[in-house]
Amino acid sequence: MDHRVKILFTIPNFDTAGSGKVVYDLVKGLDKAKFDVSIACNHDRGDFFKEVQKLGVPIFLLDTTAEYRPYHTLYGRIKPIIKFFKENQFEIIHSWHWSSDWTEVLAAKFAGTKWLYTKKAMSWGNRHWKIRSFLADYIITINHEMVNYFSYKKNQQLIPIGIDVNYYTPEFSKPKEIDKDQFKIVAVANLVPVKGIEIILKAMQLLNDKNLRLEVVGNDEHEYATTLKKVTGDLGLNDQVRFTGKKQDVRPFINAADVYIIPTLDEGRKEGMPIALVEAMSMGIPVLGSDISGINFVLKDFPELMFEASNEKALAKKISEMKNNGENYRREVGNSLRKYSREHFSVDQFISEHEELYLKLAR
């Protein structure tokens, strides 16, 4: 093409939005000789926003969505959004909003702008998803089950989320002091009930092994975290469990672990493609995950590392096997996962596939 394609990425924020780092990596990696990139988000709160600013791309602090109702006044409410899209002459808008909102794509239609979105979670609970998908020029899915939901939509593509495998690496310095008698479990999650962290706690109680340690990395100031802390006490695990709170850099916590566990329940939004799981794999850490959508996509070639969702007995057995098989076994598992993540979930491949798609849409 004889010009740079103007792309706007929209996302609610870089504070609570789990896909913020993914958008950051994508914006950072796109060929700036081919693409003129901007970002729109609702606010500038959170430490990670400062990192996004360092990318040096225009960032617009505005909400590009509107309330649906009342429908007869909707056009008036999206008119400023239409104007914003037109004035900046965006050719492509790529939405990373988690919700089923379709007012943004409607504004894009009125502005004459191509609009696509990445489906991030396994939630299809209302008709608004169908409206959003019908209006979209393109849909990107991130696991194999999502494709079936959009079977009527030809303009779609499966692009697994990629990570920087040179950032999430086994060479990341290990803590100087590690108690060899302890077997450390780590869980990194946005602490909401569907994440099922209590399944790890119950499995630990079943094992009754005082050498087990669990670190839960994530915002621990919400109601679910409070419930988890109470469950921890009720199960007599206070001395074995630590809630670290939210951490911008999770690598030291993953790296110090003997095993990473993602015990998401088979209900609600479930998982689209769990990034922290891939990060642990890339760092050469053994992992265990519940056999649900998203997780079983990432671990499809490692069925022995999955357990039945909500089944603490099955998880306890997997933890016991991982511990008793020894350090050499865990190192072999970690090396296999590292190699697999490099081959299937690299950020370079992720960026390349997006670049090809954007150029196709802009023709």
Q: Are residues 204 and 157 in the same domain?
A: no
Same domain, residue pair 30 and 138: yes
Which among 157, 217, 173, 152 has a CA at the least distance from the CA of 191? Answer: 217
Structural domain of 226: 183-344
* Residue 199 and residue 316 share a domain: yes
Residue of higher predicted confidence among 79 and 178: 79
Q: Are residues 156 and 209 in the same domain?
A: no
Residues 59 and 158 in one domain: yes
Does residue 201 sit in the same domain as residue 151? no
Q: Which residues contact 203 (CB under 8 A, 6 or more apart)?
A: 312, 313, 315, 316, 319
- Per-residue pLDDT band for 338 (boundaries 50, 70, 90) equals very high
Query: What's the Cα-to-Cα distance from 240 to each of 146, 152, 195, 277, 310, rounded to whole Å?
Result: 38, 50, 20, 22, 21
pLDDT > 70 in the chain, percent:
96
Residue 173 has pLDDT above 60, yes or no: no
pLDDT tier for residue 151 given thresholds of 50, 70 and 90: low
Both 34 and 147 in one domain: the answer is yes
Q: Which of 58, 61, 46 is nearest to 15 (CA)?
A: 46
Residue 173 lies in a domain: no
User: Are 286 and 322 in contact, with CB atoms under 8 Å apart?
Assistant: yes
Q: How far apart are CA 156 and CA 143, in angstroms?
A: 12
**Per-residue pLDDT at 152:** 73
User: Does one domain contain both 46 and 114?
Assistant: yes
Model pLDDT, residue 178:
58
Same domain (yes/no): 18, 157: yes
- 146 with 239, same domain: the answer is no
Q: Please give the Cα distance from 17 to 20 (Å, whole number).
A: 6
Which tokens in the block code for residue 245?
A: 């709170």
Separation CA 248–CA 186 (nearest Å): 16
CATH, residue 195: 3.40.50.2000
Cα 306 to Cα 296: distance, rounded to the nearest angstrom:
8
Q: How does pLDDT run across 345-356, given as a tens digit for each residue?
A: 999 999 999 999
Q: What is the pTM of this model?
A: 0.87
Averaged pLDDT, 267-287: 90
Let me know if residue 171 belongs to a domain: no
Residue 120 pLDDT level (bands cut at 50, 70, 90) = confident
Quickly state the pLDDT bin for 116 (edges 50, 70, 90): very high
Whole-number mean pLDDT of the chain? Answer: 93
pLDDT at 147 over 90: no
**pLDDT per residue over 219-244, tens digit each?**
888 899 999 999 999 999 999 999 99
